[in-house]
Amino acid sequence: MKGTLKKLGVAVAASALALTSLSVPAKAADAKTTLTFAETRVGGVGIKQVEPPWLNSGSLTQGAMFRALFKAGPDMTTVKPDLASGYKVSKDGKTVTITLKSGLKWSDGQAIDADDVIWSMNSALRVTKINANYTTSFKLIDGASAVTAANKVNMSGLTAKGNEITIKLGAPQPLLIPILAQFIILPKHSLENEDLLRLDTSKFWLNPVTSGPFKVGTMSPDNFITLVPNANFEGPKPKIQEINVVSSAALLADARSGKIDYFITQDADTIRGMKAVNTFKSYQTSGAPFHRYWVFNLTDANNPLKNVKAREALKYGIDWVNIVKAAYPHGKVINSGVPSGLPFHLKSIPTYKYDVAKAKALLAEAKFDFSKTVRLRHYHVGPADLIFMSAVAQQMQALGMKVELTRFVGDATTELYTNKNYDMALKGLSTFDVSEWFGEYSNANFAKILGAQPKYAELNAQLATAVTLKQRAKALTALQELEQEDLYKLPTYLLPAYVFVSKRIAGAPTKYGPWLYLYENNFLNWTLS
Amino acid sequence: MIEKPPSTAKLMISNFVRNTTGMIGLAIVFLVVTSSIFAVQISGYDPNMFDGANTSLPPSTTHLMGTDQLGQDVFSRVLYGGRNSILIGVLASFLGNLIGTVLGAIAGYVRGKFDTILIRLSELVMTFPQLVLVLIFVTFLGQGVANVIFIFAITGWMTTFRLVRSEFMSLREEAFVEADRAFGFSSKRIIFRHLLPNTMSPIVVAFTINTAIYIIAEAGLSFLGLGVPVTTPTWGNLLAAAQAPVVVEQYWWLWVFPAAAIVVFVTGVNFIGDGLRDVLDPRSRTQVKEASFGSTLKQKIFGSRKRNA
Amino acid sequence: MLAFIIRRIAIVIPMALAISAIIFFASRLSPIDPLNSLISPDAAADPTNLAILKERLGFNDPIFVQYFNWLTEMFKGNFGYSIQTGQPISEILALRMPATLELILSALVISTILALAIGLVAGANRGGFTDKASRALAAVGISVPDFFIGLALLNILAYRLNWLPTGQRISPGQVTFFDRLPHLILPVATLSIAMLAVLIRYTRNSVLDTLNRDFVKTARSKGLPEWKVMWSHVFRNSLGPVMVILAFRLPLLVGGSVLVETVFQWPGIGSTVVAAVTVSDFPVIMVVSLLIAVAILFASFLVDIVKSILDPRVRLGATTE
């Protein structure tokens, strides 16, 4: 027996060593040409694959590997050629012609052609994980409604002749080109036999065929990705020869010790802490604001906030300015879906002012039932979010309300629109265009908590097809007025992101566009010292 | 043969008073409980007072343990958080013990199929990683103070169950129980009047130990953000601030003090447990021949002390 | 012996099945639609496409059919898909299991060696400095939450002094085990410290037990040098009980690693469970808990057999106490 136990001990030790010697091939990195990028967007542990670019596409990793037809400037409105050399819009705005550059190649040597573009745009309507920007936009193309995952029918309004792609729209769509500047074209030849419904988990993402200046060199799931130059890229050769994509366990400490060179974050404490790190430069990102706002479950007759006056009381009964400042020092309190400072913001909307007496008067006017408990929910998990939520709960309690605050246990979509076990919930939305914010009021999900909203639907249709600035201003003014009248959503704050760039990087831009979107960042000319 | 404990309450109390470890533990626990009851008076701050002008301050004479990101006084919150943490630990431990005692008494007295099923179940639950089990229950039941107490209780009844069961098994063969049966006393009377009082000591010890375990478990669960709702301050919820590496590094006072409170209180409870074990368990003073493997569980509770006295 | 093993298997298999059924039905009773998470709240999937996927994944079948299919697929090694990431669970496990085993086994080996050494010295010199120190350590050790130790170590050694990585398992360019040893140091230290308190207590008691045995007294009376008595009689005989406890503790270590993995962002089973619970990723929770349960049943089965080899009375008597 003694012998057996001893053997057992030896076996345990041996297997520990055997397991730990599983190795990952990699070569020694040259600090002068290797950039380490901390991927901050993916929640939780590590990196599992190259993030499929059809949901969000703004990370440095995706920008280095994938390309769209056009490349946006940091302002997101002007576009430059990328895979396409140019485009033309017909006079009535209903026909768009795009010319593809010729001689382009995928990283595996195959030609990039119009078929890839047509396949990609049709597939976007078949996959399950897709950014609403693309589906909303592509559904305006003729014949889009016929495309589903169950068939092989393609959009009749999307055709190609040689390098010329023609898009026919039911109505003029001013956002199509900026959206196409975000939409990544994927290689048809590698993906056409994949199950599109589960495209985001395909093995393809472990070593994707790319169109950009880089491709995957080493993929170590859960740990890191190493990107190396793509020899088939037609543009100038990048000065950086290797990109390590890691997921930092502690951004501040890793940045200070020089383990990472570049990252983006919204985390208030990290942003504050980075001020003391003088080896980095910081920039606030612009465009595509991150909205945080309250949604109310108004189909529930028992919701104590069903009366609009009760919701209005929240504007004044909670010290939004100071709470936001405490939880997110860089956050900005907003009072409208079109935040102040942006074009078409309605200046007549009063800003939130902490005024308990006014709040109490409004609650009295609403005949607020203080015996009912307000079920307060959120799904964000960051420490700052917890700080924010508990401060709000405390101040609601100070108004005399009973409050029950918990995080949604299930996934946010189910909890918000199906289970609906809440009275008010904090939601987030990153809007490429302000139409997304107002689009929520009339979409299918919100109908489950608000009921049908034909008024919003009509105004949203006007906004979507507004070609002139005057038409746009008119639609947005009407929408903002309606929003204030109904208070179905209570706009609360914007959460900016910050880019941190190591000073050893030269040639990096001084102006950064929105976090989750692709734009020209001059990456090919970055150098390291 | 097991010696009967010299069980008059008075004797036990006087024994406990003479037990240094136990008394130190009692003093610690008393101190922590009292100060958490008078949290506001002692610290001079409302634990929920939002103060935008004094956020994230390090410890100073005005704020002994500093302030958090909302300007709330950490000292006050640590004391106040003790209320809920201790309450959760004690209630969960009590409930778990109750379940364990009832099931153990039935299994030990009735035996048979029922006993076999329960013993298998307890084996499985006991060897299952408790935190994982708790997490699974949290997924189904959701967060909440009552839920956490319930989950702790149904994942932590086994120790008591097995103790009571084996105690019953041996006691029911004792002469005095035989005599009871011969007198025609009902099973209920035998269980409640004669058997249970004789199993009280291990139950009391298990109660203190479980309280300590649950307070630590609550801290872990809340640290993961899966414990009681954040509006209920507990030591674990205060510690959850340390999920952010920046907080760990830059605002050490936000997590070191709540953790210290846990360590102090749990040490106190464990000392009481040790003291009680010395006083209540007759075997701690007698040599008992124990099979090395079969009674690992008893060793867990009684083992470490049995030769120290 | 064979009859005993068969008897034990006859208990283990129905238990595993019962557990799988409980886990499966409980998870299907939950109100969460396993497909919904395929869309984040701001993303839009066409409802028709979701319906097609739902049909294809068999969510429209009667629940008993689903259970049967799930069970047969499990036997084939297809554990289903994670709701959160859509990955096959078998792939997740294949990635994460080695990470957790690496962590647990390293901690097990280190803490066992340390505990044996300290426990032996403490037990042999009862009342001496090591004994007192180790008992104090054990008393405080069981009162300190293990993740607190981890946070303290991280804060000092990684964040402030920058001697060790701030977490995770492999950095770019690390090829061999020794390359990535720095990543392993802090989590293993944390887990080992957490285990040490209990293990030292066991070893010390086991040594004290052995010291009281007759053969030790005999050996001493024969005039053997003390170190020889300690080594060849006391230590070897104290090892048995400690080893059995270790075997028992292996599944419990998975629980211990949950918090440690979270603190160090170690990509193992523990952090997988936490991530899964946070978003109610039932398929992952189901598979992990089922695997743990099966591992436990298997471990207890092995321990029973080892016990029966050591002590024939177990084979004859009840299998319980």
The reported pLDDT for the residue numbered A243 is: 93
- Name which residue leads in pLDDT, B134 or A19: B134
Prediction ipTM score: 0.80
Q: In CATH, which superfamily holds the domain spanning A23-65+212-285+497-528?
A: Periplasmic binding protein-like II (3.40.190.10)
Contacts of C202 in chain B (CB under 8 A): 299
- Name which residue leads in pLDDT, A86 or B202: A86
The DSSP call for residue A29 is P
Q: How far apart are CA A98 and CA A87, in angstroms?
A: 4
Token pair of C86 as six digits: 């859509």
What is the pLDDT confidence band of residue B27, given thresholds at 50, 70 and 90? very high
State the average pLDDT for chain B: 81
Residue B13 has pLDDT above 70, yes or no: yes
What is the pLDDT confidence band of residue A17, given thresholds at 50, 70 and 90? very low
Residue A15 has pLDDT above 50, yes or no: no
Indicate the pairing of strand A402-407 with strand A373-378: parallel
Per-residue pLDDT, averaged over C158-166, amounts to 89
A126: closest chain C residue by CA: C49
B69: closest chain A residue by CA: A326
Q: Are C240 and A2 in contact (CB under 8 A)?
A: yes
**pLDDT tens across C70-125, in order?**
888 888 888 888 877 778 888 889 989 899 989 988 988 898 888 888 888 888 78
Alpha-carbon distances, residue A89 vs A76, A164, A183, B231 (angstroms): 19, 13, 18, 56
Q: How far apart are CA A353 and CA A68, in angstroms?
A: 44
Q: In CATH, which superfamily holds the domain spanning C2-31+79-315?
A: MetI-like (1.10.3720.10)
Q: Do B245 and A403 touch (CB under 8 A)?
A: no
Containing A505, the helix (H) or strand (E) segment is strand A505-506
Q: How far apart are CA B160 and CA A45, in angstroms?
A: 38
A403: closest chain B residue by CA: B231
Chain C nearest CA to B42, separation (Å): 25
- Of chain B, the end-to-end C-alpha distance in Å amounts to 20
Coil, strand or helix: which one is A62? helix
Lowest mean pLDDT among A156-165, C37-46, C198-207, C227-236: C37-46
- Percent of chain B surpassing pLDDT 90: 28
The reported pLDDT for the residue numbered C20 is: 77
Q: How far apart are CA A295 and CA A491, in angstroms?
A: 9
| Closest C-alpha to A356, from A315, A307, A309, A316 | A316
Token pair of B247 as six digits: 């907080």
With a CB cutoff of 8 Å and minimum separation 6, the contacts of B249 are A250, A252, A253, A273, C155, C159, C160
Residue A159 has pLDDT above 80, yes or no: yes
For testing contact with chain C, the best of A379, A414, A421, A432 (most C CBs within 10 A): A414
Q: Do A29 and C173 touch (CB under 8 A)?
A: yes
Contacts of A330 in chain B (CB under 8 A): none
Residue C255 has pLDDT above 90, yes or no: no
- Name which residue leads in pLDDT, C321 or A439: A439
B8-38+79-308 CATH, one of 1.10.3720.10, 2.60.40.10, 1.20.1600.10, 1.10.10.10: 1.10.3720.10
**Residue A264 φ/ψ, nearest 5 degrees:** -125, 140
| Closest C-alpha to A216, from C169, C172, C95 | C172
Per-residue pLDDT, averaged over B149-155, amounts to 92
Number of Cβ pairs < 8 A linking chain A and chain B: 82
Partner residue facing A28 (CB), from C39, C173, C243: C173
**Residue A161 φ/ψ, nearest 5 degrees:** -135, 105
Chain C nearest CA to B70, separation (Å): 23
Lowest mean pLDDT among B103-107, B127-131, B297-301, C40-44: B297-301
What is the pLDDT confidence band of residue A7, given thresholds at 50, 70 and 90? very low
The reported pLDDT for the residue numbered B8 is: 60
Per-residue pLDDT, averaged over A236-246, amounts to 91
The reported pLDDT for the residue numbered C201 is: 80
State the average pLDDT for chain A: 87
Q: Do C296 and B124 touch (CB under 8 A)?
A: yes
Contacts of A404 in chain B (CB under 8 A): 229, 231
Residue A8 has pLDDT above 70, yes or no: no
What is the pLDDT confidence band of residue B294, given thresholds at 50, 70 and 90? very low
Chain A nearest CA to C85, separation (Å): 8
Partner residue facing C245 (CB), from B135, B248, B296: B296
Q: Catalogue the E-assigned strands of A206-272.
A: 214-220, 224-229, 242-246, 262-265
The reported pLDDT for the residue numbered C310 is: 63
**pLDDT tens across C10-22, in order?**
777 777 777 778 7
Per-residue pLDDT, averaged over A42-59, amounts to 76
With a CB cutoff of 8 Å and minimum separation 6, the contacts of A430 are A288, A289, A290, A291, A514, A515, A516, C42
3-state secondary structure A387-399: HHHHHHHHHHHHC
Q: Domain A290-494 class?
A: alpha beta
Q: Do B144 and A395 touch (CB under 8 A)?
A: no
Alpha-carbon distances, residue A408 vs A257, A491, A493, B142, C82 (angstroms): 37, 20, 21, 9, 19
- Percent of chain A surpassing pLDDT 70: 92
In chain C, where are the structural domains located?
2-31+79-315
- Contacting chains of A (3 CB pairs or more, <8 Å) are B, C
Query: Looking at the complex, does the CB of residue A254 fall below 8 Å from at least one CB of chain C?
Result: yes
Partner residue facing C176 (CB), from A21, A254, A410: A21
Query: Looking at the complex, does the CB of residue A149 fall below 8 Å from at least one CB of chain C?
Result: yes
Per-residue pLDDT, averaged over B202-213, amounts to 88
Q: Do C154 and B245 touch (CB under 8 A)?
A: yes
A23-65+212-285+497-528 and A70-191 have identical folds: no
Q: Do C36 and A414 touch (CB under 8 A)?
A: yes
Supply the Cα-derived Rg of chain C in whole angstroms: 24
Containing A99, the helix (H) or strand (E) segment is strand A95-100
Q: Do B307 and C208 touch (CB under 8 A)?
A: yes
A70-191 CATH, one of 3.40.50.20, 3.40.50.1220, 3.90.76.10, 3.90.1200.10: 3.90.76.10
In chain A, where are the structural domains located?
23-65+212-285+497-528, 70-191, 290-494
Residue B308 has pLDDT above 50, yes or no: no
Q: Do B245 and A390 touch (CB under 8 A)?
A: no
Q: Whose structure tokens read 């889009």?
A: A144
Alpha-carbon distances, residue B163 vs B158, B174, B196, C303 (angstroms): 8, 17, 12, 21
Q: How far apart are CA A420 and CA C22, in angstroms?
A: 27
The reported pLDDT for the residue numbered C249 is: 67
The reported pLDDT for the residue numbered B180 is: 76
| Closest C-alpha to A327, from B241, B137, C259, B147 | B241
Q: Where are the alpha helices (DSSP H) in A328-382?
A: 356-365
The reported pLDDT for the residue numbered C34 is: 59
Q: Are B178 and B120 in contact (CB under 8 A)?
A: no
The reported pLDDT for the residue numbered B309 is: 29
Residue B185 has pLDDT above 70, yes or no: yes
Residue A75 has pLDDT above 50, yes or no: yes
Residue B301 has pLDDT above 50, yes or no: no
HSE of A1, CA atoms in CB hemisphere, 13 A: 16
Contacts of A272 in chain B (CB under 8 A): 246
Instruction: Give chain B as a DSSP string.
Output: -PPPP---HHHHHHHHHT-HHHHHHHHHHHHHHHHHHTHHHHH-S-TT---TTSTTPPP-SSSTT-B-TT--BHHHHHHHHHHHHHHHHHHHHHHHHHHHHHHHHHHHHH-HHHHHHHHHHHHHHHHS-HHHHHHHHHHHH-S-HHHHHHHHHHHS-HHHHHHHHHHHHHHTTSHHHHHHHHHT--HHHIIIIIIHHHHHHHHHHHHHHHHHHHHHHHHHHHHTT-SS-TTS--HHHHHGGGGSHHHHHH-THHHHHHHHHHHHHHHHHHHHHHHHHHHH-GGGTS-----TTTTHHHHHHHGGGTTT-
Per-residue pLDDT, averaged over C243-261, amounts to 75
In chain B, where are the structural domains located?
8-38+79-308
Q: Do C240 and B220 touch (CB under 8 A)?
A: no
The reported pLDDT for the residue numbered B194 is: 75
The C-alpha angle with vertex C113 and arms to C109 and C114, in degrees rounded to 5, equals 115
Contacts of C53 in chain A (CB under 8 A): 128, 149, 197-198
Partner residue facing A269 (CB), from B71, B144, B246: B246
Q: Do C105 and A132 touch (CB under 8 A)?
A: no
The reported pLDDT for the residue numbered A11 is: 44
Residue B287 has pLDDT above 80, yes or no: no
Chain A nearest CA to B244, separation (Å): 7
Contacts of B225 in chain A (CB under 8 A): 381, 386, 407
| Closest C-alpha to A157, from A141, A170, A172 | A141
Alpha-carbon torsion angle A458, A461, A462, A463, nearest 10: 120
Per-residue pLDDT, averaged over C127-132, amounts to 82
For testing contact with chain B, the best of A267, A386, A397 (most B CBs within 10 A): A386
Residue A4 has pLDDT above 50, yes or no: no
Q: Which residues of chain A from 430 to 449 reach within 8 Å of chain C, CB to CB? A: 430, 444-445
- Percent of chain A surpassing pLDDT 90: 55
Q: Are C305 and A434 in contact (CB under 8 A)?
A: no
B292: closest chain C residue by CA: C241
- Name which residue leads in pLDDT, A115 or B188: A115
Position B261, amino acid: A
Chain B nearest CA to A334, separation (Å): 19
Chain A nearest CA to B142, separation (Å): 6
Coil, strand or helix: which one is A405? strand
| Closest C-alpha to C238, from C121, C68, C99 | C121
Residue B260 has pLDDT above 70, yes or no: yes
A38, β-bridge pairs: A246
Contacts of C176 in chain A (CB under 8 A): 21, 23
The reported pLDDT for the residue numbered B121 is: 83
Residue A209 has pLDDT above 90, yes or no: yes
Query: Looking at the complex, does the CB of residue A373 fall below 8 Å from at least one CB of chain B?
Result: no
The reported pLDDT for the residue numbered B202 is: 82
Tell me the pTM: 0.83
The reported pLDDT for the residue numbered C2 is: 75
Contacts of C166 in chain A (CB under 8 A): 248-250, 253-254, 259
